[in-house]
């Protein structure tokens, strides 16, 4: 019996299929199957009932699962005591909300790649609810998303909030003067999807003012910015995600009392034997943000929830 076999067993048991475990381990399904067969041979009994689509544990498998978890925890503790418990290796899968993907994370990843040049990083960019689901399924090792989230076995370290500004293309002629909420309501508003904190806070502000407004929820931040650059409407997204467009004068900040709520982001990962590497990435991210953040664009949080 080897630690590799134990880790493979643990992932198959917690992820539910041999294929998902293989993807997590960056190996092939036959390799995973061979490791499980070898482990079952060592025990002299079956650990999985293979008669169903999902990898169902037998009674013996269920008995071994908690022991396997404790053995992997001990391995992580041993690595930590020796000094390399949080080292990254192999393939690390990172989820990113697009606000972060279009702002500080690329520069952060450059610094992380310099520290761990042998590691392959894979990225999934998308809406936070989708990233949360992928994280719970363990298809991601760590996710930088709107949070914290209330999910069993998910640990979230609050990182930052990103204040939202209203901007528009110069051709719309809205910059350089004070805009009331009534005038703003006469234009198309571009922001995140309907379920997002920013979208909902905009709706509450216009409802309180008893104004009708057309708010376009857009699933892609890049597309929302592209629409704004064409003059399609007023853009309401975190300022940090459009720094380049503002510096180049392609978008202008609008002077208004309307201030949508700032989305709050966290680094989240599933607790368990594989959490040490994710904690290492989160710690590096916090160190990077401390040096990178500017007062007007990113506000840093403290604490774990």
Based on the fold, state whether residues 44 and 120 are members of the same structural domain.
no
Give the count of domains, the chain.
Answer: 3
Stronger pLDDT, 42 or 85, i.e. the higher one: 42
Q: What is the pLDDT of residues 247-296, one digit of tens each?
A: 999 999 999 989 899 999 999 998 877 788 898 999 999 999 888 876 66
- With a CB cutoff of 8 Å and minimum separation 6, the contacts of 182 are 209, 211
278-303 as b/e: b if 16+ CB within 10 A:
bbbbbebbbebbeebbeeebbeebee
CA-to-CA dists, residue 161 to 131, 145, 186, 197, angstroms: 18, 11, 29, 12
pLDDT at 192: 93
Which residue, 162, 158, 115, 103, is CA-closest to 277? 115
CA distance 125 to 278: 17
Are β-strands 142-146 and 264-270 bridged in parallel, bridged antiparallel, or unpaired? antiparallel
Based on the fold, state whether residues 176 and 248 are members of the same structural domain.
yes
CA distance 286 to 229: 32
Q: Cα 191 from chain centroid?
A: 19
Among 29, 62, 82, the domain-final residue is 82
Q: What is the pLDDT of residues 81-135, one digit of tens each?
A: 665 555 677 889 999 999 999 999 999 999 999 999 889 999 999 989 899 999 9
- Whether 151 shows a pLDDT value over 90: the answer reads no
Based on the fold, state whether residues 11 and 56 are members of the same structural domain.
yes
Asked if 133 and 182 touch (Cβ cutoff 8 Å), the reply is no
Based on the fold, state whether residues 277 and 152 are members of the same structural domain.
yes
Q: What is the pLDDT of residues 198-246, one digit of tens each?
A: 999 999 999 999 999 999 999 999 999 999 999 999 999 999 999 999 9
CA distance 61 to 8: 13
Based on the fold, state whether residues 172 and 156 are members of the same structural domain.
no
Based on the fold, state whether residues 136 and 267 are members of the same structural domain.
yes
In a domain, 202, yes or no: yes
CATH number at residue 50: 1.10.10.10
**Beta partners for residue 252, in sequence order:** 168
Based on the fold, state whether residues 55 and 16 are members of the same structural domain.
yes
Q: Cα 70 from chain centroid?
A: 27
Based on the fold, state whether residues 172 and 194 are members of the same structural domain.
yes
Residues 90, 97, 163, 230: is their CA dihedral positive or negative? positive
pTM of the model: 0.77
Q: What is the pLDDT of residues 15-26, one digit of tens each?
A: 888 888 888 788
Token pair for 43? 């025990």
Q: At what angle do helices 29-43 and 18-25 cross, to 10 degrees?
A: 110
């Amino acid at each position: 019996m080897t630690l590799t076999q134990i880790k493979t067993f643990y992932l198959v048991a917690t992820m539910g299929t041999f294929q998902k475990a293989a993807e997590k381990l960056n190996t092939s399904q036959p390799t995973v199957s061979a490791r499980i067969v070898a482990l079952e041979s060592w025990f002299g009994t079956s650990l999985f009932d293979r008669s169903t689509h999902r990898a169902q544990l037998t009674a013996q498998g269920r008995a071994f699962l908690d022991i396997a978890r404790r053995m992997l925890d001990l391995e992580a503790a041993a690595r930590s005591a020796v000094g390399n418990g949080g080292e990254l290796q192999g393939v690390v899968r990172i989820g990113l909300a697009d606000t972060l993907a279009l702002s500080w994370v690329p520069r952060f990843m450059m610094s992380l790649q310099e520290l761990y040049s042998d590691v392959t990083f894979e990225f999934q960019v998308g809406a936070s609810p989708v990233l949360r689901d992928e994280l719970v399924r363990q298809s991601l090792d760590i996710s930088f998303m709107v949070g914290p989230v209330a999910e069993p076995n998910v640990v979230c370290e609050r990182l930052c909030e990103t204040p939202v500004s209203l901007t528009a293309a110069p051709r719309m002629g809205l910059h350089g003067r004070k805009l009331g909420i009534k005038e703003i309501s006469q234009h198309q508003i571009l922001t995140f999807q309907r379920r997002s904190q920013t979208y909902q806070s905009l709706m509450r502000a216009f409802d309180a003012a008893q104004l009708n407004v057309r708010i376009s929820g857009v699933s892609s931040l890049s597309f929302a910015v592209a629409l704004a650059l064409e003059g399609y409407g007023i853009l309401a997204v975190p300022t940090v995600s459009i720094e380049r467009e503002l510096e180049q004068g392609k978008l202008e900040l609008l002077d208004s009392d309307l201030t949508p709520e700032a989305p709050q982001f966290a680094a989240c990962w599933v607790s368990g034997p594989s959490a040490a590497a994710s904690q290492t990435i989160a710690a590096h991210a916090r160190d990077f943000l401390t040096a990178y953040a500017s007062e007007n664009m990113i506000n840093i949080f403290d604490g774990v929830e």
